Amino acid sequence: MQGGMSVRGAVSGFEVDEVLEQLMELERQPIERMEQQGQEILEKQEVWREVDSRAREFQNALRPMRERWNFLQREATSSDESVVTAVAEEDAEEATYDIDVKQLATSHSVGTSEGYADPGEALGINGDFFLDTGADVTELEEDLASENDWLEGDISTGFYTQGVTDTQSLEVETLELNEEEQASDADRIDVYAHSFTDVEGNGQMQELQEYFEQNHDIDDFDLEEPLLTLEKNENDEWEAYDQGGNPFEIHEAFPDGILELEAEFIESGENEGEEEILQTRQFDFRHGEDAVNQQRISINETDSLEEIVEQINHVSEHTGVRASVVMKAEGDHRLVLESEEEGTDGKIQAWSQDNVLDELQLDQELVEAQDAEFEFNGMNIERTSNTVDDLVDGVDFHLEGEGEATVSVDTDTDGPREMIESFIDTYNDFNSILRQVQEDDEDDPLLEEEEEEGVQERGALRGDTTLQRIESRLRSTIHGHVPEIEEGETPFNSLAEIGISAGAPSTEEQDYMESAEGFLEITDEEALDQALRDDPEGVFELFGRRAPEDEDGNPKGPDGIARQMNEFLDSVVGPDGMSTNRQDELSRQVSDLEERMERVEQRAQRRKDHMIQQFTAMERHINRIQGEDMAMGAIGDTMDTQQAAGGAGGEEE
């Protein structure tokens, strides 16, 4: 009988449950010992995770100390940040600058002189106007006039299109459209020239005709014929040809301006000569720096003020102009344009060949475009922006308001000092956990800091050789020297020379665990501040230098302290590091214990099953013997009865 049921000898009266329980306790004693071992291993794993975490925190504090520029930062301070602020780079010279801001640069802003009751209502205006600022908003990678691959260009090259609702690059892929659109089935695209104007809106169609006749070997350029034709070659790729059948190119003589084009997407029919125009699309081709940023804003009679704003903002990255609707009063909504560029270079420019701007009444200047004017150490200076980054090498000035202020550029000691303090704090935290998990004496005065959540009991890893190797290496690095390798290098060879103490080394009579060795402390504030102020390069060399190599590629000496420690910690917490391997080893031990416990449990269960089977067999045997005894007793009783009956009959005769 199994499964928790009571097992009691019905025949023998033997208490089997009690016997089995006692025997199973004996069988499972190894499991209890292994469970205790497993718990100890899990505790060690948790401790190693904490050691690993502290090591990574320390390593994070070391990384910025390996970068020279983190020690050589300059700090710019202003006597009045409401007038001017500044940012200094590491190559800036220490200096003082007197600044008197007379006038800030302003961004040009214009608006409509009359209001609209409902900004979402159709205006009933029809026409186009071009919008731009004087600033070069779009970055040009090279001379646009020399571009020949404009069909594969993008907005950054200045060759792009503006469809009815979208701005897109003039790429063959764009002309193919999306697969969902009917025009994607086109096998030929004819592109016609509608108009060609300069940036002032003057017609230049005659110049365009002369250009093609002179540069494309076309005797009689016909404005009624396609400017170019795109057809698919045998590789199903688009190729462009001019009216003379030559590959279409842009020559240097191509005039500057805005060319309004119309593309017809054509699909050939089944029979020769049959064609179908799938779709017609208008777009602009621009050439020359002045034409690149200008954008055509097309207004239809059904467009509202809000839709015009949306269209203007859609191309703002090229025009440098942002639009908005401002409610001046109830039922009085104004269209407002603001330049994204400060100064006179960012003045908004708008022109039209029709009277659409007059109909919009976009004729009120709200903020005049003006440049910044200020005195700099007595010199009169003008700039188009309030951000002045070309006045002094390594210093950017930001003009905030009118008035006088002094900007001082000095060595930044706060940043490097914070790095050093973080180095000390995280090192001490790491060193503390290393000592704590090896120390049994809870009365150690060096370790009386509060127990942090997740930190296990003291001494959990006492005697762990891996931990001892880590601790020994840290100790030797902290007390080590970074000697001068080449003449003229840093005068700082140890932490003590910049005011940082690492405690007294232990002696034979004084065990390390009982000493103060290994815990860092700034013991000379003045020495540290002076080192950071007078020789930040030397402090960097102490912490972060990479030792120069000899002609064979071997280092001539040790690296800086932070670089040495960072490299060592890679061998601790890295993918194949000591901490990682130790945790993996403990995980394997836990798995091995679980397998062993499973085998012992299975063996105990088999033992129990076997004993139950033996007991059951014994019960049957006893029951059989008892049955036989009862049968024999019954036979004897019968015989006695018969004998007694025979004797009584003889006496009666």
Instruction: Give the tens place of pLDDT for each residue, 122-145.
Output: 999 998 888 887 654 443 333 333
- Checking if the pLDDT of 121 tops 70, the result is yes
Tell the residue number behind the tokens 């096998």, with chain if given. 187
pLDDT of res. 73:
87
Distance in Å from the first CA to the final CA of the chain: 62
Contact 321/340 with Cβ under 8 angstroms?
Answer: yes
Q: How many CB atoms lie within 10 A of CB 27?
A: 17
- Checking if the pLDDT of 615 tops 50, the result is yes
Residue 642 DSSP symbol: H
Instruction: Give the tens place of pLDDT for each residue, 402-432.
Output: 999 999 999 889 999 999 999 999 999 998 8
Give percent above pLDDT 70 in the chain.
Answer: 76
Residue 556's contacts (CB-CB under 8 Å, 6 or more residues apart) are: 485, 486, 547, 548, 549, 550
pLDDT bracket for residue 3 (50, 70, 90): very low
Contact 438/461 with Cβ under 8 angstroms?
Answer: yes
pLDDT of res. 510:
41
- Checking if the pLDDT of 176 tops 60, the result is no
pLDDT of res. 33:
79
Instruction: Give the tens place of pLDDT for each residue, 178-220.
Output: 334 455 677 888 888 877 877 666 667 788 788 777 777 777 7
Q: Provide the 3-class DSSP secondary structure of residue 39.
A: helix
Query: What is 283-348 written as a DSSP string?
Result: EEEEESHHHHS-EEEEE-TT-BHHHHHHHHHHTHHHH-EEEEEEEEETTEEEEEEEEEEESGGG-E
Residue 560's contacts (CB-CB under 8 Å, 6 or more residues apart) are: 65, 66, 482, 540, 541, 542, 543, 544, 545, 546
pLDDT of res. 155:
25
Q: Tokens representing 161?
A: 């299109």
Report which secondary-structure segment, H or E, holds 387: strand 387-392
Long-range contacts of 246-252 (CB under 8 A, 24+ apart): 246/216, 246/217, 248/151, 249/148, 250/145, 250/146, 250/147, 250/148, 250/150, 250/287, 251/145, 251/211, 251/215, 251/216, 252/145, 252/146
Q: Tokens representing 602?
A: 């299975």
Q: Tokens representing 558?
A: 């040790």
Q: Tokens representing 566?
A: 């960072």
Least confident of 177-186, 228-237, 264-273: 177-186
What is the pLDDT averaged over residues 69-95? 92
Least confident of 267-271, 550-554, 557-561, 630-634: 630-634
320 versus 597: which is more confidently predicted?
Answer: 320
What CATH number is given for 108-137+297-370 in this structure? 3.30.70
pLDDT bracket for residue 162 (50, 70, 90): very low
pLDDT of res. 76:
94
- Checking if the pLDDT of 583 tops 80, the result is no
Report which secondary-structure segment, H or E, holds 51: helix 16-62
Instruction: Give the tens place of pLDDT for each residue, 431-464.
Output: 888 888 877 555 444 444 444 444 445 556 777 7
Q: How many CB atoms lie within 10 A of CB 454?
A: 10
pLDDT bracket for residue 366 (50, 70, 90): very high
State how far the Cα of 411 lies from the Cα of 303, in Å rounded to an integer.
59
pLDDT of res. 22:
73
136 versus 634: which is more confidently predicted?
Answer: 634
pTM of the model: 0.57
pLDDT of res. 135:
53
What is the pLDDT averaged over residues 160-180? 33
pLDDT of res. 449:
47
State how far the Cα of 623 lies from the Cα of 621, in Å rounded to an integer.
5
pLDDT of res. 145:
30
Q: Tokens representing 208?
A: 């365009």
pLDDT of res. 1:
41
What is the pLDDT averaged over residues 244-249? 77
Contact 472/453 with Cβ under 8 angstroms?
Answer: no
SS (H, E, C) 497-564: HHCEECCCCCCCCCCHHHCCCCCCEECCHHHHHHHHHHCHHHHHHHHHCCCCECCCCCECCCCCHHHH
Instruction: Give the tens place of pLDDT for each residue, 325-347.
Output: 999 999 999 999 999 999 998 89
Single-letter residue type at 14: F
Least confident of 46-55, 248-257, 370-379: 248-257
Instruction: Give the tens place of pLDDT for each residue, 474-512.
Output: 888 888 788 776 655 567 888 989 999 876 444 443 444
Q: Ranked by mean pLDDT, which of 237-246, 502-511, 557-566, 633-642 comes out on top?
A: 557-566
Locate the domains of the chain by residue range.
16-31+582-652, 42-69+415-577, 76-105+372-411, 108-137+297-370, 139-292
Residue 358's contacts (CB-CB under 8 Å, 6 or more residues apart) are: none
- Checking if the pLDDT of 108 tops 50, the result is yes
State how far the Cα of 426 lies from the Cα of 420, in Å rounded to an integer.
10
Please state, rounded to an integer, the average pLDDT across all residues of the chain.
Answer: 77
pLDDT of res. 650:
54
pLDDT of res. 113:
92
Contact 231/242 with Cβ under 8 angstroms?
Answer: no
Q: Tokens representing 398?
A: 């930001």
What is the pLDDT averaged over residues 587-595? 79
